[in-house]
Amino acid sequence: MTDLTRLSLAAARAGLKARDFSAAELTDAYLAAIERANPKLNAYVAITADAARASAKASDEKLGAGQGGPLEGIPLGVKDLFGTKGVHTQAASHILDGFRPEYESTVTSNLWRDGALMLGKLNMDEFAMGSSNETSFYGPVINPWRAANSNANLVPGGSSGGSAAAVSAWLCAGATATDTGGSIRQPAAFTGTVGIKPTYGRCSRWGVVAFASSLDQAGPIARTVEDAAILMTSMAGFDPKDSTSVDRAVPDFAAAVERGVKGLVIGVPGEYRMDGMPGEIEKLWQQGLDWLRAEGATIRDISLPHTKYALPAYYIVAPAEASSNLARYDGVKYGLRVTGRDITDMYELTRAEGFGREVKRRVMIGTYVLSAGYYDAYYVRAQKVRTLIKRDFEQVFDAGIDAILTPATPSAAFGVGDEDMKADPVKMYLNDIFTVTVNMAGLPGIAVPAGKDGQGLPLGLQLIGRPFDEETLFAAARVIERSANTDFAPSPWW
């Protein structure tokens, strides 16, 4: 029998329906793969083998009776940011030690409703703060990819590095992830996988540990565009428990995948041609445009003039919201508690020991920009810039642009423990330079693998769409995926 873990989600779903193999066999194949690989990759922080096998048995009974949901028997990984009832949910942070919620996030509830099952919780940057998955309390995730003729460990990107690494290394059929400034799209680009950040409000945030509430959005990471579309259809939907959830019908995203791009107008923003951009990124970008043009799209140069202010504005807005959201972690009700002389001492000691360095840095930045005397100078000004960024996109879309093509990242994956990144946090933050505008404007964006760099590492392109027009992104991404016609599977070394 073919290694079941190498099947796409769509192929696995078809095989289960045809009874070519059972959900129990598929689940056992993934659990065996996790057992072999996780000690090297560190993608999972909790493995729910018994629950997965019980769910698979129930799925087989449904499938045997000709029943079951659209994801019946499909084994998934869940980012540690999503609340899972009775199961480890710690946002990869020491401060949430031992926390097992009494609730299930809406997104994971939707997936279980449709028949999917959980293999375990996936590693991530602590509280989703990071671009390399090195800030986790559980240690860094290792990218399944390695540069040609090298044994050096590479980062998988962040914050959804565990999700991207697990999908890339065949440790789950697909994974949930979240994106606040690029945390789905950047790891997808670094690992040769597909990741979509939906329109803000498309997927419920209820039951997802908050980082920056006006920016956070859940989405899938998968091996193919079709797989991502299948997962999105189940994950999305209106949720009255989330005040930012939009009451809008969920299309069958998979039905749009083969729609093509004939007649579409694709925008190319000049502002994304950054100084010092590697030639291979520029070449790949042009190649993507050529592929879309060959399939019937029109390419048009556009301007998004406030792009250059997006990254500094983001790193004011996001830490400010994080400072507010993370105030609840004080050792009183749940998680870590460090005993002190009095309650104030307990708060301080708990937060000092419980939060990692990057989280502390962002909380302090956020507290500073919200403080008296600085609020107007920093936070209010950043929100005004955010409005201008959003208006740039609105004007472009109003002028007839259907989607925008840009690079996904400024480079391929870099090394774990990279000294330049460690010494200068701004260099790490620059990994988000092509992705943060999408979050600031609340738009959908998808990263799709499109080529490889000189060392054989995957590179991705990003498509940005109109609000709630993820269907066009799936269609255009599929054209790039088909045109690239490249095997984006890492060579196993683990």
Residues ≥6 apart with Cβ < 8 Å to 276: none
- Give the Å distances, CA to CA, from 305 to 258, 275, 440: 33, 15, 14
52 near 75, Cβ under 8 Å?
Answer: yes
Catalytic pick among 183, 204, 234, 323: 183
Considering only CA atoms, which of 193, 194, 140, 137 is closest in space to residue 162?
A: 140
Catalytic annotation present for 59: no
Catalytic annotation present for 79: yes
CA distance 451 to 323: 38
CA distance 252 to 248: 13
- Give me the count of residues in the chain: 494
Catalytic pick among 109, 159, 160, 204: 159
Catalytic pick among 22, 55, 59, 79: 79
**Which are the catalytic amino acids?**
79, 159, 183
